[in-house]
Chains A and B, each alone.
Chain A
Amino acid sequence: MTTTDTQMNNYLARLRTALTGMTLAEREDVVQEIRMHIRERSSDVQASVEETLAGLGPAEELAQQYRTGLLVQRARHSISPLVILGATLRWATTGVEGFLVFVVALWGYGMGISFLLLALLKPFFPQYTGLWVGPGEFDFSFRMGVTMTNPASPVHEVLG
């Protein structure tokens, strides 16, 4: 085995390891395509294997592009909060835009879960569960959740 074969095989082994979240067949298909690209690129265009591997970028980054693309694609067609959050978390690691989307998604799910808990607790503890608004430390306060003491006026509860 030549040095260039060793370089290519090492790169493909790293790629194979980093390609998580795929079936074995999908992973081998990707590895095979990249292998053929390296062979053809380095034979036809007279580029060395080193140059071809540099053009592809680090194996781990290439694998991350595959994973991110597929996760975002799955999230588009999924209603599962876990799939959507997983996709945005992966996206968040790739740039500012993804990070902002992740923060907004996390906040949205947090608010959703809070309202769900309120709806479940409200029938049992109507006086101590709710959403209170009114003048606070500054001009306006907003409080939501369960409290041990019934908040007194001037705040008022808006969930009924």
Chain B
Amino acid sequence: MTQLNFSTPEIETSDKWEAQMRKGCLEMAVLASLWHGRLYGLEILRVLERDSRLVLSEGTIYPILNRLRAEALVQSQWVEAEAGHPRKYYELTRNGRGRATRMATTWTEFSAGLSLLIEPVLKEKERKRDL
């Protein structure tokens, strides 16, 4: 199973197009990770890694969350944790839910169309592998 890795050194060495494509999906992925409820930064990283195989570098997630908060797509709240140190939790706002829904719809339509287009390419690849 291949793993999508967002860490800074990986992006530098990986294909540029692939890096740009992954980067473009980050906002949608972060918003989607908050769909079921509030999470704090480290939890978001773990959810993305577990559910979508997106491995973000730790320095990437916080500036994104800060920007999403500035755009009023998420709101944050410090909560005292049992572990001893407070955690900053993020949850989707009404605007954030709307944006996530629109992005998910666009993504689904776009990827469905593209999948049809690239089907012959993948079939050709499979045919060559079987030979």
Contacts and interface: CB of A to CB of B under 8 A. Distances in A.
A115 interface: no
B88 A65 contact: no
Interface string A25-69: 000011011101101110000000000100111000110011011
B10 interface: no
A29 B60 CA distance: 17
Contact of A56 (B59, B67, B83, B86): B59
Given A30-B66, A37-B42, A73-B71, A65 B85 contact: no
A73 B67 contact: yes
Nearest to A68: B63
Contacts, number: 58
Nearest to A55: B58
A111 interface: no
A56 B87 CA distance: 17
A120 interface: no
A69 B63 contact: yes
Contacts of B67: 69-70, 72-73
A40 B42 contact: yes
Best-surrounded residue of A29, A61, A68, A72 (most CB of chain B within 10 A)? A29
Nearest to A39: B85
B61 to A, nearest CB: 9
B63 A65 contact: yes
Q: For this complex, into which size category does the number of interface residues on chain B fall? A: 20 to 34
A59 to B, nearest CB: 9
Given A65-B59, A70-B70, A57 B64 contact: no
B14 interface: no
B108 interface: no
A56 B66 contact: no
B8 interface: yes
A81 to B, nearest CB: 21
A40 B83 contact: yes
A66 B66 contact: yes
Contacts of A70: 66-67, 70
A1 B105 CA distance: 52
Contacts of B52: none
Interface in A6-37: 29-30, 32-34, 36-37
21 contacts: A30-B62, A32-B88, A33-B62, A36-B86, A36-B87, A40-B87, A41-B42, A52-B58, A55-B7, A55-B58, A55-B59, A56-B59, A57-B8, A57-B59, A61-B59, A62-B59, A66-B62, A69-B64, A69-B66, A69-B70, A70-B70
Interface pairs A-B: 5 shortest CB-CB: A69-B67, A65-B63, A57-B59, A55-B58, A56-B59
